[in-house]
Structure 1
Amino acid sequence: MQNHILIIDDEASIADNLIYALSMEGFTSDWSSLGVDGIEMLKHSPSKYDLVILDVGLPDTSGFEVCKQIRAFSEVPIIFLTARGEEIDRVIGLEIGGDDYVVKPFSPRELVARVKLRLRKNKPLEPIEASIFSLDEDRHTIHFKGVLLTLTTYEFGILALLIRHQERVFTREQLMERVWREHQDSIDRVIDTHIKTIRAKLKSIDKQSSPIVTHRGSGL
């Protein structure tokens, strides 16, 4: 599935460069030069956009204010663009709901790399088929199709979370927040390694069963 990016920036030259750089990596883009128009585009098609690139210094309103309004109805990832590199601006941007921060002048290739990383981190896990599992919270055990699974602490935490919330999808970061006691530097590597190991243990019991499925285009 092709990812669609919304660019909100009043500088046409920057928007053109971004649209071109993103297209070279298979992304499609829409552009708005005003914050209010960008908000309306997102409201009108909330499921269309996978990420927003948002300039802080817009002519009609602050990018920070645009972010606040977007966060009132959407959790779409937001990467700020700004000519200001002060720490306080970066902190404010992240505290109000931004996901990343790029200071002008910047390399379009670097920004595209950040877009790809952010989209990868926001890929959700599909709901798990919980009916084939037996979860015993007190004994800290999980049976899969009647067979007791030998799980590490974190493997148990991940699988138990998915079983308890079989109708919900989780990003890697959400799994990290709920299961891990300490922060990990590489969320992708840590989560993916544990999911891979869990899948292997399930397949050792039933090779045809795939209860944890990757949701391509929007999830791990």
Structure 2
Amino acid sequence: MFSFLDKFSSPVKAMLILTFFGIIGSALVAVSYTVTKAQIAANERAVLTHHLAVLVPDNLHDNDLLSDSLQVTDAQALGIAEPVTVYRARYQGLPVAIILNVVAPDGYSGKIYLLVAIAYDGTLLGVRVVSHQETPGLGDGIEERHSNWILSFAGKSLINPLENDWKVKRDGGVFDQFSGATITPRAVVKAVHHALQYYWEQRERLFL
């Protein structure tokens, strides 16, 4: 290439060299982005698969949760205006559970993304935090790796506790809050409660 440039004046040479390296640089960035994006997607899928297996163990269903899914939209109940994915667990064709993607829009530092697993009878199988931006050492107590707080939802339903008790204790409910951080658990409790209400209203349609 550089012998080819000998026929051009110095300014033109410089421009062509810069253009060449600019194209090479852009190509490298594009390749790196593609590889990174694929790796991020693979990591996210692995995390999702793990959460689904924990919330609805394999012995409770015989279908592929990732394949047996649908998109639903309900900004008020699910906390986000965009469509979200619902995963359906079945055993021998019969409905077993639903795993809802839910957003608590009013966390202390922004949205908190959750997976909420609900058995067919309306009892919570569990809740897991997918992502959040809450304050480390305070709001991150919603993560299982930092505390057992998120595990307290298992076994709860719309009648256990009753309607007025679906709040943190500071607001007169039954759920613990964190020392110095009430906003985060309050947001999660409200989002899970809304998810249960949505499930009960839409249960038959969700399993179609």
TM-score, normalized by length of structure 2?
Answer: 0.25
The structure whose Rg is larger is 2
Q: Which has the higher contact order (CA 8 A, sep 6+)?
A: 1
TM-score, normalized by length of structure 1?
Answer: 0.24
